[in-house]
Amino acid sequence: MLPGARALRAAGLFRPPGAVPRTGAALRARRGPGQRPVWRGFALPAGPDLRHFLRAAAAGQAGPWPELPPEPGSTPGAPKVYLETYGCQMNVSDTEIVWAILQKNGYARTKELEEADVVLLVTCSVREKAEHAVWNRLRHLRALKARRPRARAPLRVGILGCMAERLKEEILHKEKLVDVVAGPDAYRDLPRLLAVAESGQQAANVLLSLDETYADILPVQTSAGGTTAFVSIMRGCDNMCSYCIVPFTRGRERSRPIASILQEVRMLSDQGVKEVTLLGQNVNSFRDLSEVQFQSVTAPGLSRGFRTVYKAKQGGLRFSHLLDQVSRIDPEMRIRFTSPHPKDFPDEVLQLIQERHNICKHLHLPAQSGSTRVLEAMRRGYTREAYLELVHHVRDSIPGVSLSSDFIAGFCGETEEDHLQTVSLLREVRYNIGFLFAYSMRQKTRAHHRLQDDVPADVKKQRLEQLIATFREEAARANAELVGRAQLVLVEGPSKRSASELCGRNDGNIKVIFPDTELEDAAERKAPGRAQPGDYVMVKVTSASSQTLRGVPLCRTTLSRAAASH
C-alpha cells in the first residue's frame, strides 16, 4: 500500500491539492538557495521526485534514494521503453509524441523487446480485429513477464490510445496483466503513471480533453533519416457518424495553432524530409482559434448537397489557409493530408491543390456506401447523388487527380440492393486506391444504441469479397491509363521483394517499382549515380496492376524542375 500524504510531506514531496507555485517577487522572496517553488506556504527542498519515492516504497527502502535517471543518451542506466503501434497514421503520430515526452523524462528507447523495462502499445479501436491483435499481443507479453529474471525490475506493460479509452476497466482487471492505461489525451501524464506502476500499483488516466493538441511537443520521428513524416494538425471528430467510435475515444474536434504546425514542418524540412502528411480525424475541418483577430471569420460553405449534425462553426483560420502556408515552406517537399470528410472541400482548397506543384494531386473521399438509404442510417450527411456531384467537381477542378475511398460492407440493415448500389459506385467512380472492411459493431456508437447488426457474418464476408474484387478490377483499369506516361516518383527505399529494385510513390500515392540502376541527373549538376531514398526520379510506366505501377527510370530530377517541365 502506498504511503499517505503525511509520509509524502515528511519526504518533502507533498503538494497540497490545488496548490500553484508563486511567481515573481513573492516567489523569489520566499525561496532560498537550492529550494523548489513555495506551494502556499510549503517550501519544498531540492531532492528526489515522486518516481524515486514510489520506487523506494515498492522496494521497502527508507533511503538512500535511487540515483536520478540520466538524460537521454548520457549513461546506460535509463529505463528502456519499447513502443509498438497499431492502427492508423494518427497512432503513428501519437507514438512519436509519446516518445518525445518519455525521452524528455529520462527514458531510453529500445527496439529489442527482451531489453525493455517498459512496453507500451499504442492501440486502435475502430474495428474489432484491431483489438483482437492487441489482446493476442498481451498474451505474449504475459509469458515475457513470467520468464523475466528476478534480478531485473518487473516488466511494466501499458495500453495507450483508443483501446485504453474504450476498455479501461476490462484492460485493468483482465488477468491483471496491464500496469498503465492512458487515453489519447493523457500522454503528458505518462511519467507519473509509470512512476506509480513502479510501486506495483496499476495506474490509469483516460480523461478526454476539450483543448489538448500537444501543440508544444515536437514529436521525435520514429524512423530516423526517413523521407516521409506525419504531422498531426487536429484531434477528435464532431461528425458523429453512427458506426464510428472515434468521437468517443478521441473526443471533440480541436485544432493546433498554425504557428506550431509550421514550426514542425520547417524542422522536418531542415532534417531532409521530402514528404509531409497532415493528419486529423477530420483533417479538412481544421479551425485554428488561437488568434483573436480571426475569431469572427465567416465559416466556409459545405460541399454542395452536404450537411452536418452540428451548426456551422464561425471564426478561426481554416484548412485552406494552413495548406497555403505549409506548401510555401519548401518547394521540394510534397504535401499530403488525410483523412478528410467529403463535406469540407470548398473551392479554395481544390484550387490551391491544382495550383501548387508540391501539393499532391490525390484526394481521399471516403464514401462508406453507395446507397443513399444506408448513408442516411450512417449519418454521413449526403446522398449518393451529392457524393457523385462532388467527384465530378473534383475531377473538373484538378485534372488527373487520383482518388481513394473507404467502404463498409454489411452495415446495419443493408439489403442486397443497397450492396449492389455500392458495387455500382465503385464501377462509376473507378478509384485508384481503396480501403474496404466488413462492418464491426462498436459499443457506445449510435448504431450500437439505435440499430441492429442484422447482416450475418457470412453475408458480410461475401459482400466484402465482391467489393474488393470490383475495386481491384476498376483500379487496374484506372492505373492502366498511366502506362506509357512518365511519373515523378519519390524514392522510399529498396523494394521489399527484390534488392535490385527501388520502390516509391507517385503524386497520386500509387506505389511504383523500378530497377535500381545508375541514372543521369536532369539538371546535369550531379554525376550519374544510383537513386537514394529522398530522391525524385522520373519513371516511365511500362505495366500496371490494381495496386502497383512498374516502369523504367529515366533520370533523377527535382520536384520544382519536374513541375516546370510540365
Within 313-440, where are the H helices? 319-327, 347-355, 372-378, 384-397, 416-429
Between residues 10 and 500, the one the model is more confident about: 500
**Lowest-confidence region among 36-40, 102-106, 169-173, 369-373:** 36-40
Tell me how far apart the alpha carbons of residues 106 and 94 are, in angstroms, rounded to a whole number: 19
**pLDDT for the residue numbered 144:** 93
Name the β-bridge partners of 231. 278
Per residue in 245-275, pLDDT (tens digit) is: 999 999 999 999 999 999 999 999 999 999 9
Mean pLDDT across the chain: 86
Q: Do 197 and 301 fall into the same domain? A: no
Between residues 375 and 124, the one the model is more confident about: 375
DSSP conformation letters of 125-185: -SSHHHHHHHHHHHHHHHHHHHTS-TTSPPPEEEEEEHHHHHSHHHHHHSTT---EEE-TT
Give yes or no for residue 221 having a pLDDT over 90: no
Q: Which residues contact 504 (CB under 8 A, 6 or more apart)?
A: 489, 490, 491, 492, 511, 512, 537
Q: Do 462 and 541 fall into the same domain? A: no
Residue range 101-108: mean pLDDT, rounded: 96
Residue range 486-492: mean pLDDT, rounded: 97
**Lowest-confidence region among 5-19, 215-229, 234-248:** 5-19
DSSP 298: P
Residue range 373-401: mean pLDDT, rounded: 97
Q: Do 374 and 496 fall into the same domain? A: no
**Inside any domain, residue 438:** yes
Q: Do 432 and 556 fall into the same domain? A: no
Final residue before a domain boundary, out of 480, 499, 517? 480
Phi, psi of 65 (to 5 degrees): -75, 145
**pLDDT for the residue numbered 175:** 63
Q: 15-23: long-range contacts at Cβ-Cβ below 8 A with a sequence spacing of 24 or more?
A: 15/39, 15/42, 15/44, 16/40, 16/42
Q: Do 98 and 170 fall into the same domain? A: yes
Quick one: which of 566, 457, 449, 465 has its CA closest to 507? 566
Tell me how far apart the alpha carbons of residues 280 and 255 are, in angstroms, rounded to a whole number: 9
Residue range 430-459: mean pLDDT, rounded: 96
**Inside any domain, residue 424:** yes
Name the β-bridge partners of 167. none
**Inside any domain, residue 51:** no
Name the β-bridge partners of 242. none
CATH code for the domain of 502 = 2.40.50.140
Q: Do 304 and 354 fall into the same domain? A: yes
**pLDDT for the residue numbered 223:** 57
What confidence category does residue 404 fall into, taking pLDDT thresholds of 50, 70 and 90? Answer: very high
Give yes or no for residue 456 having a pLDDT over 50: yes
**Which helix (H) or strand (E) is 119 found in, with range?**
strand 118-123
Q: Do 435 and 328 fall into the same domain? A: yes
Per residue in 156-168, pLDDT (tens digit) is: 999 999 998 888 8
Quick one: which of 266, 155, 261, 250 has its CA closest to 208? 250
Per residue in 40-85, pLDDT (tens digit) is: 333 333 444 555 544 444 444 433 333 334 444 434 589 999 999 9
Q: What is the pTM of this model?
A: 0.82
What confidence category does residue 299 fall into, taking pLDDT thresholds of 50, 70 and 90? Answer: confident
CATH code for the domain of 325 = 3.80.30.20
**Inside any domain, residue 410:** yes
**pLDDT for the residue numbered 169:** 86
Please tell me the total count of domains within the chain. Answer: 3
**pLDDT for the residue numbered 49:** 52
Are the beta carbons of 551 and 487 closer than 8 angstroms? yes
Q: Half-sphere exposure of 428 toward its Cβ, with a 13 Å CA cutoff?
A: 15
What share of the chain in percent tops pLDDT 90? 71
Q: Do 366 and 400 fall into the same domain? A: yes
Q: Do 374 and 503 fall into the same domain? A: no
Tell me how far apart the alpha carbons of residues 75 and 92 are, in angstroms, rounded to a whole number: 28
Give yes or no for residue 414 having a pLDDT over 70: yes
**Inside any domain, residue 13:** no
**pLDDT for the residue numbered 61:** 40
Tell me how far apart the alpha carbons of residues 308 and 380 are, in angstroms, rounded to a whole number: 8
**Inside any domain, residue 47:** no
Give yes or no for residue 151 having a pLDDT over 90: no
Residue range 225-233: mean pLDDT, rounded: 88
Q: Do 194 and 237 fall into the same domain? A: no
Tell me how far apart the alpha carbons of residues 413 and 407 are, in angstroms, rounded to a whole number: 16
**Residue 432: exposure state from Cβ atoms within 10 A (0-12, 13-18, ≥19):** buried
Q: Which domain holds residue 557?
A: 485-564
Give yes or no for residue 36 having a pLDDT over 50: no
Residue range 123-136: mean pLDDT, rounded: 88
Final residue before a domain boundary, out of 480, 497, 525? 480
**Inside any domain, residue 187:** yes
Handedness of CA 148, 153, 154, 156 (dihedral sign): negative
Final residue before a domain boundary, out of 463, 480, 497? 480
51: left (phi over 0), alpha (psi -120 to 50) or beta: alpha
Tell me how far apart the alpha carbons of residues 447 and 363 are, in angstroms, rounded to a whole number: 28
**pLDDT for the residue numbered 226:** 81
**Inside any domain, residue 62:** no
Q: Which residue has the cell 470490383?
A: 470
Which of 13-17, 221-225, 408-412 has maximum average pLDDT? 408-412
Q: Do 380 and 518 fall into the same domain? A: no
Give yes or no for residue 294 having a pLDDT over 80: no
Q: Do 193 and 271 fall into the same domain? A: no
Are the beta carbons of 338 and 230 closer than 8 angstroms? no
